[in-house]
Structure 1
Amino acid sequence: MGKEVKTNAVRILDRNKINYELLTYECDEFIDGLHTAEKTGAPVEQTYKTLVMQGKSKKYYVFVIPIAEEVDLKAAARSVGEKSVEMIHVKDITAITGYVRGGCSPLGMKKQFPTVIDSTAEAFDQMYVSGGRIGTTVRLNPKDLARVVRAEFADIIAKH
């Protein structure tokens, strides 16, 4: 065992000399972000999930939102200049991103899609996102993440 796992996400962080911490946990199958945070001890409000959506234009977009929240589809569409966006099918995740469900990171997808990080992340020094495979989480500064994936910050979560 003992060999450090280098995912595309981690390689990109290394290449860009970004400070990060890699957290790993035992997991054989998809679990949701809340369970992931529980396993790694990461604060729920600082843990984000990566959603991939397709716009009316057929272009793909990446939205990074807090794990306990839901995306506001209208706000997400507005943030990328689309009339509407919808989630891609689970069966298409790997073909589009190169990642599997539950291991989808905003870093290191097959292509760099336009990315929006929910503005709540700007309040934190550190945020947690998938490290690019199930069982791997990366802790890093939200501004570093935004810089590497050329993301914008916007209000894209549903208001309760």
Structure 2
Amino acid sequence: MTPAINSARKAKVSHRVHQYQHDPASESYGTEAAEKLGVAADRVFKTLVVAVDGQDLAVAVVPVSGQLSMKRIARAAGGKKAAMADPTDVQRATGYVLGGVSPLGQKKRLRTFIDASAQRFDTVFVSAGRRGLEIELAPAELARLTHGTLAPLQRD
């Protein structure tokens, strides 16, 4: 049980938890999840934490098949620039280890932005708070639970 799963259960959100054997040698946690679960990479979303204008942390949830546009996440967050957040800050703010950061159940609620492509699917997969553990839920429920905003976040 993780804080991510607990938050979905507490909110009575329809979801499914998927577990797979994580390979410590894997360099792309999201791609590994898609492959091991037999799901299209467009439906598996990675959780990235960025620093907007060098200070405020924000969460970007984007497909593992794409890349986050720093310009787009900065714009969505109302800033000028964004950069990947310091790993120590990420772990401190979210309560999760890198590779297992979930947009759900974070220690400190960070502003969350979900790539608009999520709306194309009935359900999407995001980390459930541990490497090798994914939670599947409707994009609208993900946005509701995270108080997230849907926006185009991927590089063209």
TM above 0.5: yes
Cα distance in 2 for partners of 1:86, 1:57 equals: 8
Structure 1 residues 95 and 29: alpha-carbon distance in aligned structure 2, compared to 1, 3 A threshold: farther
Q: What is the number of equivalent residue pairs in this alignment? A: 154
Displaced runs of 4 or more, over 6 A: none
1:105 to 102, 106, 119: 102
- Once residues 74 and 28 of structure 1 are traced to their aligned partners in structure 2, the CA distance between those partners, rounded to angstroms, is 32
Q: Which residue of 1 aligns with 2:52?
A: 55
Q: How does 1:60-99 map to 2 (within 5 A)?
A: 60-99=57-96
Name the aligned partner's letter for residue 17 of structure 1.
K
Which deviates more from structure 2 when the two are superposed, residues 135-144 or residues 92-101? 92-101
How many angstroms apart in 1 are the aligned matches of 2:36 and 2:50? 27
1:45 matched to which residue of 2?
Answer: 42
How far apart in 1 are the matches of 2:106 and 2:25?
A: 18
Kindly provide the amino acid, as one letter, of the partner of residue 151 in structure 1.
G
Unaligned runs of 5+ in 2: none
Which amino acid in 2 is paired with 1:78?
A: R
Note the alpha carbon deviations across 1:42-93, whole angstroms, 9 max, x for none.
2211110000001115111000000011111111100010111110133443
Computed over aligned residues only, the root mean square deviation of the Cα atoms, in angstroms, reads: 1.3
Q: Which amino acid aligns with 1:76?
A: I
Q: Give me the identity figure in percent.
A: 34
TM-score by length of 1: 0.92
Kept after mapping to 2: 8 A contact 1:72/1:158: yes
